[in-house]
Chains A and B, each alone.
Chain A
């Protein structure tokens, strides 16, 4: 059996492609065996002394596939991070992402308390972008480190990994102390309150922080302020966070259970509230007692305003502290014993 000039050229090109894809010490040996197989196949399909043309060869090569495919069958399957390292990689990734997000949030709360930002929405968007960049950079670095470990330890037995595979009874996760029972009524009430909150803050935004004062149904109604202009600046963010809380409650109602997504969503909202409280703390005074002055005719309004804002500062401080504890507790719980 003999190939004509065109078929010979095609076969040589195909084999060159295969060799280039193969690499390694056995490259020529493997390529020779593949070529021998092609000749055997041609011989069986076209017996006799007839010269084999390009078309006959092309049919066989098409059945075999590209040089990359043929050569690929001789290479071991490779992973960026293989199944051996992946559980450890995933654990480290979650811990680092949570630590980075927590550290950045805390630093922003402290910075905004010391030096209140001029443009709240811009600062908040920048904060979200910083968190995203921080987590992405950390994840990329961890991925590169694990990919290097994967290559460097390919085929080797890693004692640390083997240890992780052993059962240690003490390290089994504790059963969740407070596995949140799903309460349809509770979530529905939370969702309804969220909608009312949205309506209230939208109304307050429209009235410039004032509420109607109705002392006597026969007299004309007038408006009196409860919130200062500083507070009004925060309302878009408050509306955003409340909207997200309502959306979370609706998601809970649809899926009828707490899941990993809704739990992390809750953590993000609590972290967002903490940042907001930090900004608000740096932007006092936020409330005015004009409304109560209209109703109760209080004397020495300035002193009462100062007292109310001091009380609000204490509440915001406690809220930051409470949210911080809650965020850390929930992150730890979600990492140690994640919902599914």
Chain B
């Protein structure tokens, strides 16, 4: 009986931990979502193809997968912020992306907004610590 109770308590503790981790992952994803566009656009001042962009961002500590990046590149292009072209370099054709003039303007605005929000958040967090 005692063993059953101990197992039950242990099971609940593990499940609660898993749930908390899941919740944390969800919140983390939500927080990152807004920053992805800025991160991607910041790397497209220079021309890049999808895979090199993924590697570039990952190497700098910003994790992103193809499932997020490619649809986003297409969306940004439809919004008129990027231009792209297929080019055969190395052995295979690859699609290269770069910011156009409108994209560069939006990037400047987003960067300013990000810095302002970063400052506000830094103050808010420091106040509560």
In the complex, A29 Cα to B71 Cα: how many Å? 12
Contacting pair B67 A36 (CB below 8 A): no
Q: Is B32 an interface residue (CB 8 A)?
A: no
Interface residue ranges of A1-34 to B (CB < 8 Å)? 1, 26, 30, 32-34
Tell me which of B68, B71, B74, B93 contacts A36 (CB under 8 A).
B93
Q: Would you give the shortest CB distance from B100 to chain A, in whole angstroms?
A: 18
Q: Contacts A74-B71, A74-B74: A36 and B50 contacting too (C-beta < 8 A)?
A: yes
A interface residue count range (under 10 / 10 to 19 / 20 to 34 / 35 or more) = 10 to 19
Give B22-69 interface residues, CB cut-off 8 Å to A: 49-51, 66-68
C-alpha gap A1/B90 in the complex (Å): 11
Tell me the smallest distance from the CB of A153 to a CB of chain B, in Å: 20
Q: How far is the CB of B44 from chain A (nearest CB, A)?
A: 15
Q: Which secondary structure dominates chain A's binding surface?
A: helix
Do A37 and B71 contact each other (CB < 8 Å), given the known contacts A1-B91, A32-B93, A64-B66? no
A40 at the interface (CB under 8 A from B): yes
The complex places the Cα of A41 from the Cα of B66 at a distance, in Å, of: 11
A81 on the B face (CB < 8 A) = no
The residues of A with any CB-CB pair to B shorter than 8 Å are 1, 26, 30, 32-34, 36-37, 39-41, 44, 64-65, 69-70, 73-74
B residues with CB within 8 A of A = 49-51, 66-68, 70-71, 74, 86, 91-95
> 17 A-B residue contacts at CB 8 Å?
A26-B74, A30-B70, A32-B93, A32-B95, A34-B66, A36-B49, A36-B51, A36-B92, A40-B50, A40-B94, A41-B51, A70-B67, A73-B67, A73-B68, A73-B71, A74-B70, A74-B71
